Amino acid sequence: MAWPGDLARNHPPPPDEEQLIELVAQIKVLYCAISEDEEWVFNAIKDLFHVEPLAAALWEIYEAAKNAGFVQNVSAGLFRSDYMLHVPAKDSTRSVGSITNTTLKQVEFNSFSCAGATHANKVADMHRYLTHISAYNGQETKFDISALPANKNLESLANLLALAHNTYGKPKCNLAKETAVLFIVQPNNFNIADERPIEYALWDRETPVPAYRLDFGPDVLQYTKLSENRELLFQPPWLTSTSPVEISVVYMRAGYEAREYDQVGWDARLRLEISAAIKCPSILGHLTTFKKVQQALTTPGALEHFLADAEAATTIRETFVSVYPLDHSDEGRYAREQARNPNTAFNYILKPSLEGGGHNIYGDDIPEFLESVPESEWSSYILMERIQPPLLANLLMGPAGIESGEVVSELGILGTCLWERKSPHGGCDMLHNSVGGWTFKTKHADIDEMSVVKGYGCFDTPYLLDM
């Protein structure tokens, strides 16, 4: 964890809180629309199919599901848009404590699983509690509780799943007596503490929403089946009742690694996808999390293709840094030159289309890495301009103990959506669009990766400053 870290508020040019909420709301509208545009998604990621097994498997399953015919037009989305403050190149000042002359830049957009929400919620609660009891107050410091924002991740996530559950309604199959939300999880998941509180929050509602867990893969095929009308029926192995539970919502917390899609995993995901349950997310929604989609959205006209609000498109585009493909297009050839040249590579990050942190290649390591990878596989990567965040001083507590030094932070804004497909040709009607809570992660400035799960950073709480 980290001592509460500074984050500027109401200081232009970064947007204030209301502007940031509106920005993220529009980005969620954007990704909901993308999730219903098969042709656009295909064109964005097609170069991955021969080099990235996960993308190939997911697209094959989507094609199989489309051939079977979809019986559920409603989809749910749990999204997280990650940002860093950026010191422009013309202003080389990244001195400790200075957050002036910064702009807000998007690191990435996550549309699948979005782990960490519970941990971020708990850390924020802890920091607020310690502030209440004056644990941080000393001769030179006095924390103001109003500067530590409360976090509502758990409430927000549970509200989305409950809303989707209620939208599905009562059992439609005469074999079932109740409906429930089904969490699809990885076997022996070490991140279970991030999942369980969401499940408990559903059961603890004034009107409880039943929620169960099922390991992805063989257990899906063993303990679920499709009715004649493709309702997803779940028979919990620990219940003696002969009546199955009809699944209203499938919340995916597994299935984001290529190794999970052997034939059993492939069949399991297809069963879930063609069922009548509301998916969080659908296969197309899952595919929008690939970095190639992020790169494709930076091309001219891409945002306007999905957003009727030109001002919203302009605002979103201002948060983008340059992102390039590594293909044989003009942009791709330029990116290859930049990436292979030690004099320019330090300005970039090489990102593969994989979930989570720990896979990126940074700066000076890029030229040597590309030399070690067959050129035929380069198209699976994108080259992203490196964000240069301002430096702050902080204390971080981890397995190594308490350490102090220069740090940088990343703000993730979580949002939830529920929408209905307009037609087989795309488009959607928003049923729910809400900005929930946030994650705030801090790491030592000399460490490249931000992944908390892999030990590169800490969950933190922003300490808001009026400036």
| Digit-coded pLDDT (tens) for 207-240 | 999 999 999 999 999 999 999 999 999 999 887 7
What would you measure as the largest C-alpha separation in the chain, in angstroms? 70
Of 386, 413, 431, the one marking the end of a domain is: 386
Q: Which of 462, 394, 460, 415 is nearest to 149 (CA)?
A: 462
Instruction: Quickly state the pLDDT bin for 24 (edges 50, 70, 90).
Output: confident
| 311 and 337 share one domain | no
Of 347, 368, 386, the one marking the end of a domain is: 386
| 269 and 410 share one domain | yes
The range of the structural domain enclosing residue 344 comes to: 324-386
| 259 and 281 share one domain | yes
pLDDT recorded at residue 13: 43
Count up the domains in the chain and report the number.
2
Structure-model confidence comparison of residues 33 and 353, the more confident one: 33
Chain-centroid distance, C-alpha 97 = 29
| 310 and 331 share one domain | no
pLDDT recorded at residue 4: 66
- Any idea what the CATH number is for the domain that residue 361 is in? 3.30.1490.50
CA distances from 213 to 126, 203, 216, 454 (A): 28, 13, 9, 24
Q: Which of 78, 30, 135, 17 is nearest to 465 (CA)?
A: 17
pLDDT cut 70: percent of the chain above it: 92
Chain-centroid distance, C-alpha 131 = 30
| 380 and 391 share one domain | no
Mean pLDDT within 394-399: 86
Q: Do 285 and 114 form a contact (C-beta atoms < 8 A)?
A: no
Structure-model confidence comparison of residues 63 and 9, the more confident one: 63
pLDDT recorded at residue 10: 33
Interval 162-187: pLDDT, tens: 999 999 999 999 999 999 999 999 99
| 403 and 353 share one domain | no
Structure-model confidence comparison of residues 427 and 417, the more confident one: 417
Q: What is the pTM of this model?
A: 0.93
Q: Is 336 helix (H, G, I), strand (E, B) or coil?
A: helix
| 373 and 432 share one domain | no
- Residues 6+ away with beta carbon under 8 Å from 348: 338, 339, 363, 366, 383, 384, 385, 386
| 292 and 396 share one domain | yes
Distance, in Å, from the CA atom of 423 to the CA atom of 427, rounded to the nearest integer, reads: 7
Return the structure tokens found at 69: 């015919």
| 334 and 393 share one domain | no
Mean pLDDT within 318-327: 96
